[in-house]
């Protein structure tokens, strides 16, 4: 069997030379393995779930919580969402997606459905779940029929980058709002300026932000920037003493730069949550929340489709499937995933979990960028997060909401800020002014109109007009209708 490089483990040039110089076994000694044999599947799972860095993967698992916690907590407190069931199902989703994809593929709540539920008091749990089932069904059909691949092929990269930039800036603006102002998460309202001092004060958020910047920097791959500075033990004109001092500094810097900053900040927030209201310990009940099948009425199906599924579908197609597919190829070269598989997995998640009251979920480019920003490089990152969700859902159930309600919102804002910035940075690969123009048009309309679908439509129109202009090259418009190439005019 020919050697196949594990996609998630980088191989140096020296190792590559050793591999290519190794003689290939003859068919008589090594029988060919079947593509879907148990051994191949087990080896693939091990490769996808192996940790590239113990602290890095743990840190990366925290990168998506700035988005996940506010939405789920708000729906739990405002619309009686079953938090225990949501944790159990999303935990299982995390474990499965980590094992299947081998990268920190996120599982996030569907934001448009959540926004509708928080703004409309009549949009309750049945409507939320109906919207999730219908959205998942459409995505599943688009995936299995291959139509999603056609959509992916037709949408230009500049438009996708516009959607990513808009989503990233939206996350960043929301994060700044979380840091600067006191938030009522169940009502999604700001209550006034945040105090400077306190267990959820502005100073705390600024300190956490500075700590993450010092440890993570701008998100470069090699945070241990002093690697390779070693003393050779030779004293040439007093250089030995300087080398020893540099090595000590190098070791200290490497220790600091390898700290799991996001994980440490999150743990600090949990500690402060108990300090802010220690009586919360008595409100915790052990055991999972009861899982019940949601009862749907005709009105719930209708309202879920009109007000939930229709606004959510463009966002899911663009940001949860197409943008994630583009971003994964940028962050993990060689680990390209088909939009078909992403569309199918999002569809299956909601066709199963929404019937039992789990919050409709999808993948998200912002979550992938955030987890990558903090060090997530393998499927083990999200699998670890999934195990944590599963344990919390089984042990604490919905009573976990009492703890999360006391969690410092400013710290959540800091985590969300870095996720948004990392996602927005994906647009830096726009090389031409024309592509940048299309991207910025798409971004501006998406942000001002608060609609990714509207931004996508405007971006596509501008892209087509620019291509049409380049095709005619200022020739008479008759070339368009006669289908004559400009070179022939």
In tens, the pLDDT along 376-404 reads 888 999 999 999 999 999 999 888 888 88
Would you state the pLDDT for residue 473? Answer: 67
> pLDDT tens for residues 162-186?
888 888 888 888 889 989 988 877 7
Model confidence pLDDT, tens digit, residues 21-32? 444 443 433 344
**E strand residue ranges, 185-263:** 189-193
- Taking residue 279's Cβ as centre, other Cβ atoms within 10 Å add up to 9
| Residues near 98 by beta carbon (within 8 Å), at least 6 away in sequence | 48, 49, 104, 105, 378, 379, 380, 381, 382, 383, 386
How many Å apart are CA 333 and CA 478, to the nearest integer?
A: 44
- Residue 423 in this model has a pLDDT that exceeds 50: yes
DSSP annotation of 317: I
Of all residues in the chain, what percent carry a pLDDT higher than 90? 24
Residue 5 region, left (φ>0) first, then alpha (ψ -120 to 50), else beta?
Answer: beta
Reported as type and span, the H/E element at residue 182 is strand 181-184
190, β-bridge pairs: 183
Mean of all residue pLDDT scores within the chain: 80
| pLDDT score, position 36 | 57
Whether the pLDDT of residue 80 is over 80: the answer is yes
Arithmetic mean of pLDDT, 102-130: 88
Task: Return d(Cα 438, Cα 429) in angstroms, integer.
Answer: 13
pLDDT of residue 395: 92
pLDDT, tens only, 149-162: 998 888 888 888 88
φ, ψ dihedrals at 434, nearest 5°: -65, -45
Q: What is the pLDDT of residue 21?
A: 40
* Residues 285 and 253: beta-carbon distance below 8 Å: no
The pLDDT-based confidence of 316 (bands split at 50, 70, 90) is: confident
Under the banding of pLDDT at 50, 70 and 90, the label for residue 228 is very low
- What gap in Å lies between CA 190 and CA 275, rounded to an integer? 23
Q: What is the mean pLDDT of residues 199-214?
A: 90
User: Please, are residues 357 and 81 in contact by the beta-carbon 8 Å criterion?
Assistant: yes
Q: Are strands 189-193 and 181-184 parallel, antiparallel or unpaired?
A: antiparallel
Residue 421 has what pLDDT? 86
Helix (H, G, I), strand (E, B) or coil at 163: helix
Taking the CA atoms of the chain, what radius of gyration do you get in angstroms?
25
Q: How many CB atoms lie within 10 A of CB 347?
A: 25
Query: What percent of the chain clears pLDDT 70, i.e. is strictly above it?
Result: 82
Interatomic CA distance for residues 432 and 100, integer angstroms? 36
Say what the pLDDT of residue 34 is: 44
Across the range 276-281, mean pLDDT stands at: 84
Residue 319 CA to chain centroid, in angstroms? Answer: 10
71-80, 91-100, 386-395: least confidently modelled range: 71-80
- Give the pLDDT score at 477: 53
What is the predicted pLDDT for the residue at 366? 79
- How far apart CA 324 and CA 63 sit, in angstroms, is 16
* H helices present in 322-451, as ranges: 323-331, 339-353, 365-373, 379-395, 400-404, 409-424, 433-449
State the Cα–Cα distance between residues 330 and 337, nearest whole angstrom: 11
Residue that wins the pLDDT comparison between 488 and 168? 168
Token pair belonging to 14: 């020296």
DSSP conformational letter for 177 = H
The average pLDDT across 64-89 equals 87
User: pLDDT at position 173, please?
Assistant: 86
pLDDT value, residue 130: 95
pLDDT tier for residue 5 given thresholds of 50, 70 and 90: very low
For 237-268, how does the pLDDT look when each residue is reduced to its tens digit (9 = 90+)?
556 666 666 666 777 777 777 777 888 888 89
Per-residue pLDDT, 449? 67
Q: How far, in Å, CA of 209 to CA of 411, rounded?
A: 8
Which of the listed ranges 20-29, 163-172, 346-355, 432-441 does the model predict with the highest average pLDDT?
346-355
pLDDT of 301 = 95
For residue 219, what pLDDT is reported? 60
pLDDT attached to residue 56 = 83
Distance CA 21, CA 15 (A): 10
Which of 98, 83, 76 is CA-nearest to residue 393?
Answer: 83
> Rounded to whole angstroms, how far apart are CA atoms 294 and 357?
6
Write down the pLDDT at residue 84. 92
Residue 361 — pLDDT band, cuts 50, 70, 90? Answer: very high
């Amino acid at each position: 069997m020919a050697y196949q490089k594990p996609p998630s483990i980088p191989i140096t040039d020296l190792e590559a030379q050793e591999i290519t110089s190794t003689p290939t076994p003859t068919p008589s000694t090594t029988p060919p393995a079947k593509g879907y044999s148990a051994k191949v599947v087990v080896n693939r799972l091990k490769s996808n779930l192996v940790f590239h860095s113990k602290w890095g993967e743990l840190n990366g698992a925290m990168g998506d919580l700035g988005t996940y916690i506010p939405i789920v907590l708000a729906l739990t407190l405002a619309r009686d969402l079953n938090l225990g069931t949501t944790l159990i199902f999303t935990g299982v989703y995390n474990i499965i997606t980590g094992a299947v994809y081998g990268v920190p593929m996120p599982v996030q709540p569907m934001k448009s459905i959540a926004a509708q539920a928080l703004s409309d008091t009549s949009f309750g749990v049945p409507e939320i779940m109906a919207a999730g089932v219908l959205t998942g069904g459409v995505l599943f059909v688009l995936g299995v029929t291959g139509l999603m691949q056609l959509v992916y092929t037709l949408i230009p990269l500049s438009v996708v980058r516009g959607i990513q930039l808009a989503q990233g800036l939206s996350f960043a603006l929301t994060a700044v709002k979380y840091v600067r102002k006191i938030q009522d998460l169940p009502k999604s309202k700001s209550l006034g300026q945040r105090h400077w001092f306190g267990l959820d004060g502005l100073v705390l958020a600024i300190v956490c932000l500075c700590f993450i910047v010092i440890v993570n920097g701008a998100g470069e791959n090699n945070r241990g920037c002093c690697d390779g500075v070693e003393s050779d033990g030779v004293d040439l004109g007093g250089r030995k003493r300087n080398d020893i001092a540099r090595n000590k500094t190098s070791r200290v810097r490497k220790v600091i730069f390898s700290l799991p900053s996001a994980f440490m900040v999150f743990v600090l927030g949990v500690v402060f949550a108990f300090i802010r209201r220690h009586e919360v310990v008595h409100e915790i009940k052990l055991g999972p929340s009861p899982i019940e099948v949601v009862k749907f009425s005709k009105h719930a199906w209708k309202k879920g489709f009109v007000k939930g599924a229709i606004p959510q579908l463009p966002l899911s197609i663009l940001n949860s499937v197409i943008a994630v597919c583009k971003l994964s190829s940028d962050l993990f070269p060689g680990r390209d995933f088909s939009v078909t598989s992403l569309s199918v997995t999002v569809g299956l998640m909601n066709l199963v979990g929404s019937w039992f009251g789990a919050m409709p979920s999808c993948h998200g480019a912002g979550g992938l960028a955030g987890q990558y920003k903090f060090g997530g490089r393998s499927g083990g990152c999200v699998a670890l997060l999934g195990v944590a969700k599963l344990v919390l859902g089984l042990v604490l159930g919905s009573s976990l909401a009492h703890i999360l309600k006391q969690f410092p919102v400013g710290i959540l804002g800091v985590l969300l800020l870095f996720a948004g910035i990392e996602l927005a940075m994906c647009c830096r690969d726009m090389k031409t002014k024309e592509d940048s123009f299309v991207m910025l048009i798409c971004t501006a309309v998406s942000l001002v109109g608060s609609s990714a679908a509207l931004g996508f439509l405007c971006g596509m129109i501008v892209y087509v007009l620019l291509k049409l202009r380049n095709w005619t090259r200022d020739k008479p418009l008759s070339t368009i209708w006669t289908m004559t190439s400009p070179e022939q005019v």
